[in-house]
Structure 1
Amino acid sequence: MITDMESATPALCRLQLGSELRQLRIRAGLTSSQVVRKLLWSPSKLTRLETGENSAVEPSDIMALCQIFEADPEMCELLKGYAVVTKTKREWWQSAVYRPVISPGFKAFLGLEATASSLHSYESDYVPGLLQTTDYVRAIHRRAYEGLTEEEVDRMVALRMTRQEVLRRDPPLKFVAILSEAVLLRQVGGPAVMRAQLAHIVEAAAAPNVRIQVIPFKAGAHRGMNGSFSTFQFRDPAALRPIVYLENMADHWVTRREADVELYEDAFADLQALAPGPEESLSMIRKAMKEH
């Protein structure tokens, strides 16, 4: 539960608000359908509130829900405070500089990344965004996202570099990344760019909040072969349960379904056990640097 509204971020308030509303609805013995019928809302409106997907939340909507749920006055004021934060504060990525190059689905990712206490990421094809160098980012977006103007590429580079501040904030995001060996060998941007990129990964791994492991080709089949994924964990797991983030060429999305989260968390644990430890993995990265 958030107690310091002065330092609270909109992303955290949206997530906390959604979690509290869902718990209130369940305790009141009401289904989503019953609530939306009472308020004459569309079903998607309540869903967005409970999943924290609205960019801004109307305090009047929260008070209406509190009345239906028969929430106590203290809780009502707290939830209204969360809503006010979403209306009066803006995240850094909502600036005019970044808005043109951020899809709605990726906004959800940025909110989770800024709010989470830890991030577990498996990447099969490229270096995770939090570890990318500027030249690597440029090479990816010029080739994988053809059609972007140089100005848009510049904005994507700035966005990626700003995102990396979560690794240096207080307290920093705890980041555990597992990479396929293909990530080390795929020559993005040419030999010099890849050598610098791999050297940057080694340097980043020296931080106490960053752990890197590599799945070697010789490990054979494994549970990450269906594609990359990330899971977010939060400081208060009782209030905010882990969330899975997935993406493909067309879209980005999150899932909070308990069965899905358990599936991906189990898969990540299996990959951690299968991959060599951090020291051996860093040796693989240094060897790949020489191969480039």
Structure 2
Amino acid sequence: MITDVEAATPALCRLQLGSELRQLRLASGLKGAQVVKKLIWSPSKLTRLETGENSSVETADVMALCEIYGADPETRARLVGYAGVTKTRKDWWLTPEYRPVVGPGFKAFLDLEATALSLQNYESEFVPGLLQTEAYVRVIHQRAHQGRPSEEIDKLVALRTTRQEILSRADSPLKFTAIVNEAVLHRQVGSAQVMRGQLTHIIDVAEARPNVRVQVVPFQAGAHSGMNGAFFVIQFPDRLGLKPMVYLENLADAIVKRTDSDVERYADAFSDLQAVAAGPAESLSMIKEAIKEH
């Protein structure tokens, strides 16, 4: 539960509101289909509210749900307060500067990342976004978004680098554990100078920030549990009552997985990767050796 609604971010309010609305529905014994029938809503509208996907939430919708669920006055006031924050303030990634380049799936991830206590990320093809340099990410976006205007590429680069501020935020910096395939160290993205700068940056961040841990899965580890692709396991502060979630993305889509079985599967996979990866000190040594290669 949020103790200070006025100081909370819109992303946090959206997630907390969705979580509490779902809990109220389950406590009332109502199925989603029953609720949307009563309110003459589409099923997707209730789903978006319960998963915090809407950029802003109408207070009238919240009041209608509270009425059906029989919420007490204190709960109603708190949930309406959450909705009010989403209407009056915007997270930085939903401002006019960035919104045109933030798709729905990635917007959902940014909401979760901004609220998270810890983030576990496995990457097989490139350096994790929170550790990328501006030069490195620019090369990636230029290749991935060929034909896009240069000003859009600039926005995508700025979006990526601005995200990284979460690692150094004054109020509880994100606990970030990154595991990369050894191939990431050797694949030249851009020039050799770009790669040297990128790999040096990883070392600098990992050595300077106790909340950042980097490990490398060496080639000799053979087959491992991350061979199906990159993923994120996201955990939240206990006080929020939000369960861990998983984020996946590919060329066509970006999705958030919330079911307990899915989250457990990916959490176990990440634990397995930590076991087969080189330790943090050895991993940094591997990165330093790779710098020489470039």
- TM-score, structure 2 as length reference: 0.97
Helix, strand or coil at the partner of 2:238: coil
Please give the residue correspondences for 1:4-83 in structure 2 after superposition, counting only pairs within 5 Å: 4-83=4-83
CA distance in 1, matches of 2:87, 2:74: 20
May I ask how many residue pairs the two structures share in their alignment? 292
Instruction: Single out whichever of 123-132 and 142-151 deviates more from structure 2.
Output: 142-151
State the match for 1:220 in structure 2. Answer: 222
CA distance in 2, matches of 1:119, 1:261: 13
Contact 1:141–1:148 at 8 Å: present in 2 too? no
State the match for 1:182 in structure 2. Answer: 183
Unaligned runs of 5+ in 2: none
Instruction: Single out whichever of 228-237 and 280-289 deviates more from structure 2.
Output: 228-237
Helix, strand or coil at the partner of 1:177: strand
Amino acid aligned to 2:79? L
With over 3 angstroms needed to count, the CA separation of the structure-2 counterparts of 1:177 and 1:45, relative to structure 1, is same
State the match for 1:118 in structure 2. Answer: 118
Unaligned runs of 5+ in 1: none
Q: How far 1:144 sits from its partner (Å)?
A: 2.2
Instruction: Single out whichever of 141-150 and 168-177 deviates more from structure 2.
Output: 141-150
Runs of 4+ in 1 over 6 A off after TM superposition: none
Q: How far 1:276 sits from its partner (Å)?
A: 1.2
The counterpart of 1:261, out of the listed 253, 260, 263, is 263
CA distance in 1, matches of 2:22, 2:96: 33
Q: How far 1:93 sits from its partner (Å)?
A: 1.0
Contact 2:2–2:8 at 8 Å: present in 1 too? yes
Helix, strand or coil at the partner of 1:6: helix
Q: How far 1:237 sits from its partner (Å)?
A: 6.7
State the match for 2:211 in structure 1. Answer: 209
Amino acid aligned to 1:195? R
CA distance in 2, matches of 1:236, 1:54: 23
Helix, strand or coil at the partner of 1:155: helix
CA distance in 2, matches of 1:7, 1:244: 27
CA distance in 1, matches of 2:178, 2:18: 28
Instruction: Single out whichever of 120-129 and 97-106 deviates more from structure 2.
Output: 97-106
Alignment of 1:232 onto 2:234 = yes
CA distance in 2, matches of 1:288, 1:177: 17
